Amino acid sequence: MSSVRLPFAKMHGLRNDYVVLDAMAAAPADPAALARTLGDRRSGVGSDGLLLALPSARADLAMRMFNPDGSEAEMCGNGLRCLVFFAIARGLVPAEALLRVETGAGILSARIESIEGGTARVAIDMGSPHVADPLALVVDGAALELQRVSMGNPHAVLFVDDVARAPVERLGPRIECDPAFPARTNVEFVEVVDRGHVRQRTWERGAGETLACGTGACAVVVAAATTGRIERSARVSLAGGDLDIVWADDGHVHMTGPAVHVFDGVWPVS
């Protein structure tokens, strides 16, 4: 049986890693299945998600993101930084000062602040968050108060005293799949360090605990500022590194952080 050789790039944003494909000419026939195959860390490339760079009639390009379980995410902040760097480095779009990307969360704007070798610093206007009322849940007999914020994808934020000791692997999947979230949710465990600094761990919907979550960091700053814990500008420290998040006066959330090209490869597709 003949196979097609599928070129890809392996990239990461704060060690939140992705397989990135140029799909401007043609998209994979079954991206969900491809995400499961490529995302497997033992038999595939290994990743937290599959990113597709696609043409758009409304913007400079479009992004679709599939989790390693094959489910499609509406939005991915670390992935978007990687996709922007990928598209500009490959010449898929002009290296304009401002790039418009169509996502499941709407059209978002991005700009490259700097490029040094295989690393770019990328700033994204993530748009306006939607803040819902807090949700009280009882999990394993413990009463939890979750702050709910959507950045185009759903987040449930739980404030803890010590994020290093937070039971992410136990509570994360329970909250993700709770009936209160019919489409499932991402779950952030957050420790406030001071008025301008928080520490975060994330249980990502469809992926498990990851080393960073860009939309999650945005949701955390919104939730913490809304509840008076921090200012509207903060550094978010994740296992993979730091993001700078600003919830501006116009209501938009701005995220700035790195995107790193790791290697290129080719995958045989039957």
Of 143, 145, 119, 120, nearest to 132 (Cα)? 145
SS3 217: helix
Distances (CA, A) of 223 to 45, 213, 219, 229, 255: 35, 15, 6, 9, 15
Determine the angle formed by the axes of helices 214-226 and 77-89, rounding to 10 degrees. 140
Active-site residue, selected from the candidate residues 76, 82, 177, 218:
76
- Region of 181 please: left (phi>0), alpha (psi -120 to 50) or beta: beta
- Region of 206 please: left (phi>0), alpha (psi -120 to 50) or beta: left
- Measured between alpha carbons, how far is 253 from 218 in angstroms, rounded to an integer? 7
82 as an active site residue: the answer is no
Catalytic site residues? 76, 213
